[in-house]
Chain A
Amino acid sequence: MGLLSKKDAKLITDPLADNNPITIQVLGICSALAITAELKASLVMGIAVLFVLSVGNVVISLMRNIIPSKIRIIVQLIVVAALVIVVDQVLKAFAYELSKTLSVFVGLIITNCIIMGRFEAFALANGPWKSFLDGIGNALGYAVILIIVGFFRELLGSGTLFGIPVLGDPIEKTGVYAIGYENNGFMLMPPMALIVVGLIIWVQRSRNKALIED
């Protein structure tokens, strides 16, 4: 990559696979379970976190030398809260239906462990450019898992992708429904999201034995 040095590129690629915030660090599970019944919601959630985390990381990184360490959590919270409110308002203005589906989980980005975790672990100790890349990388790692889970849950649970029927019409009995296939209602429930995330973790760790801890 000509644009990024090798070290910088690693900041983005690492969280996508071997240091994924969801499957390896097991953070941000709550929102991953709650909003992944639809692919669209997963995607928007991923974008929202991408924005909050990358911008937040830069802001914290710029302020890192002037934040008194005793009150740094409060400062971090204020930064996240401000960014989340921006996201929330934008969603309400331009995608009202979607913001209703996501409901409280947009607001709960504030408490998403991934964000505070990256502020604490990375942005407080690194420059803005690196922090920006780290934010992009971790948010993408989060979004990728959300989209994988959302893909399977929406496909098997409702037979649609992005709201478009891909398996035929369940009421008119076309497509695969004609031969007796039925949607799996369990897929739409949060427990199944946990199981899908678990399966992803299983696949990932059996491919890379170095990730297995005792």
Chain B
Amino acid sequence: MSLKNKLHILKRKYRSKKMAPAFNALHTFLYLPNETTHNGTHIKAADDLKRTMNTVIMAMVPCLLFGMFNAGYQHHLALGEIQSVTGGLFSAEFWTLDNFMVGFWKIIPLVIVSYGVGLLIEFIFAIINKHEVEEGYLVTGMLVPLIVPIDIPLWMLAVAVVFGVVIGKEVFGGTGMNILNPALTIRAFLFFAYPTWMSGDKVWVHGAVERDQAIAAGQNLDAISGETILGALAQSKEVAYSTADMFLGFIPGSVGETSTLLIILGGLFLVFAKIGSWRIMLSSVIGAIVMGLIFNQVVASGWITESSNFYGLMSAPFWEHLIIGGFAFGTVFMATDPVTASQTNKGKWIYGFLVGFISIMIRVFNPAYPEGVMLAILLMNVFAPTIDHYVVQGNVKKRMKRVKVKTA
């Protein structure tokens, strides 16, 4: 008997029992059930929720794989075992199996914990509330490992996932009802709960924290660090990476957000598949550019001098803000979340613009929160319904006027 049949029989057996949603979910996750409706016509579209989610995951896979190579590369580079890349995108120093395996063994556990804990919560809530298991966690579960530092302890990740899924999503009624992006809720929880593991110059390279503890314990080793570019800029220090490195992603950072190139490819794929909103992505980039230009102008006109705390980040060229930190990743994969973003087209422009604008503002004005994009998206998530409301009301008013003109 095939697995499909076995699952089908299991599903039958547990129909109208308490555990039914769990078996239904397993069955439909792996196979297309051959049950059809008996009456009424239904519109048949291939891009249901599961397909949508899978498309986003496909768009993120390159970032994930690159993240694995990069984890190993940064680790070995920091230990001084290999030379930094020279040949651009196809550098032989980067694409080695050794690099990949270091990242693989660190990142796969993150993925497993993220999915395991998150789906467990989804299953529990589905059984308690007696509804089918929703697919909402599929994308969140893939986003989470990509936006955390590589050495984050797994139990912290598990606690944060529980918090993010329960408080960020289930209390509002589950998939499609949430106000905040669950993946960002998880990251924000980690950021505020365990700041020592989420910021600073030690957490971004695999092994740096361990090495630090070993030194503290009296071993004779050289400390390694992987300061992020934002960290260096905030202290007005020289940035040690070339623009090409930043764009291609050969820099320390959260697992999947370093390579702007791959994120752009993922973004194009999402736009092409009509899953992600190009309006939000574009307007968010415009917002960031506008804010960056304003800051550049402030520096150019001499209001902010080198003695100022903000000088380093403000004087960074506006385009550099787009390729460093999590801005690109947040814009493409998080701000476009169809549930928490604005729904109207005009609203999307406003929403996206403010995401970009506020990201850079937080980044510059509060060096303690270098990941302004996370806070900016969460903030705009809260405002998205308000924006939509005014867009809709504005449209209503315009049309009412038209009616009045006609009748007058």
Q: Chain A: residues with CB nearer than 8 A to chain B? A: 180-182, 184-187, 189, 195, 198, 202
Known contacts A180-B153, A180-B155; decide if A186 and B171 are in contact (CB<8 Å). Answer: no
Q: Chain B: residues with CB nearer than 8 A to chain A? A: 153, 155-156, 159, 167, 171, 189, 192-197
Q: Is the CB of A186 within 8 A of B189?
A: yes
B47 to chain A, nearest CB (A): 35
Cα distance A182–B167 in the bound complex, in angstroms: 21
Q: Is the CB of B155 within 8 A of A184?
A: no
The 8 Å CB contact of A182, one of B156, B171, B189, B192, is B156
- With most chain B CB atoms within 10 A of its CB, the pick from A181, A184, A198 is A184
Residue of A nearest to B193 (CB): A186
Cα distance A186–B159 in the bound complex, in angstroms: 12
Query: Which B residues are CB-close (under 8 A) to A181?
Result: 155
A178 to chain B, nearest CB (A): 13
Query: Which A residues are CB-close (under 8 A) to B195?
Result: 185
Residue of B nearest to A185 (CB): B193
Query: Which B residues are CB-close (under 8 A) to A186?
Result: 189, 192-193
Residue of A nearest to B213 (CB): A173
Q: Is the CB of B193 within 8 A of A187?
A: yes
Query: Which A residues are CB-close (under 8 A) to B155?
Result: 180-181
Cα distance A195–B156 in the bound complex, in angstroms: 18
Cα distance A185–B196 in the bound complex, in angstroms: 10
User: Known pairs A184-B193, A195-B167. 19 more at Cβ < 8 A?
Assistant: A180-B153, A180-B155, A181-B155, A182-B153, A182-B156, A182-B194, A182-B196, A182-B197, A184-B159, A184-B194, A185-B192, A185-B194, A185-B195, A186-B189, A186-B192, A186-B193, A187-B193, A189-B192, A198-B171
Query: Which B residues are CB-close (under 8 A) to A187?
Result: 193
B158 to chain A, nearest CB (A): 12
Cα distance A151–B86 in the bound complex, in angstroms: 56
The SS class assigned to the B binding surface is helix
Q: Is the CB of B193 within 8 A of A202?
A: no
Residue of A nearest to B128 (CB): A206
- With most chain B CB atoms within 10 A of its CB, the pick from A180, A182, A189 is A182
Query: Which A residues are CB-close (under 8 A) to B159?
Result: 184
Residue of B nearest to A187 (CB): B193
Residue of A nearest to B194 (CB): A182
B139 to chain A, nearest CB (A): 24
Cα distance A187–B196 in the bound complex, in angstroms: 15
Question: Which 4 A/B pairs are nearest by Cβ-Cβ distance?
Answer: A186-B193, A186-B192, A184-B193, A185-B193
Query: Which B residues are CB-close (under 8 A) to A182?
Result: 153, 156, 194, 196-197
Query: Which B residues are CB-close (under 8 A) to A202?
Result: 171
B187 to chain A, nearest CB (A): 12
Cα distance A198–B171 in the bound complex, in angstroms: 10
Cα distance A202–B194 in the bound complex, in angstroms: 26
Query: Which B residues are CB-close (under 8 A) to A195?
Result: 167
Cα distance A187–B171 in the bound complex, in angstroms: 19
Residue of B nearest to A184 (CB): B193
Cα distance A179–B5 in the bound complex, in angstroms: 45
Cα distance A198–B193 in the bound complex, in angstroms: 18
Residue of A nearest to B154 (CB): A180
Query: Which A residues are CB-close (under 8 A) to B196?
Result: 182
Query: Which A residues are CB-close (under 8 A) to B171?
Result: 198, 202
23 CB contacts below 8 A, A to B, read: A180-B153, A180-B155, A181-B155, A182-B153, A182-B156, A182-B194, A182-B196, A182-B197, A184-B159, A184-B193, A184-B194, A185-B192, A185-B193, A185-B194, A185-B195, A186-B189, A186-B192, A186-B193, A187-B193, A189-B192, A195-B167, A198-B171, A202-B171
B20 to chain A, nearest CB (A): 22
- With most chain A CB atoms within 10 A of its CB, the pick from B156, B193, B196 is B193
Residue of B nearest to A199 (CB): B167
Cα distance A180–B194 in the bound complex, in angstroms: 12
A180 to chain B, nearest CB (A): 6
Cα distance A187–B310 in the bound complex, in angstroms: 30
Residue of A nearest to B189 (CB): A186
Cα distance A202–B156 in the bound complex, in angstroms: 24
A133 to chain B, nearest CB (A): 36
A169 to chain B, nearest CB (A): 16
Residue of A nearest to B190 (CB): A186
Residue of B nearest to A182 (CB): B194
Query: Which A residues are CB-close (under 8 A) to B156?
Result: 182
Query: Which B residues are CB-close (under 8 A) to A180?
Result: 153, 155
Residue of B nearest to A180 (CB): B153
B154 to chain A, nearest CB (A): 10
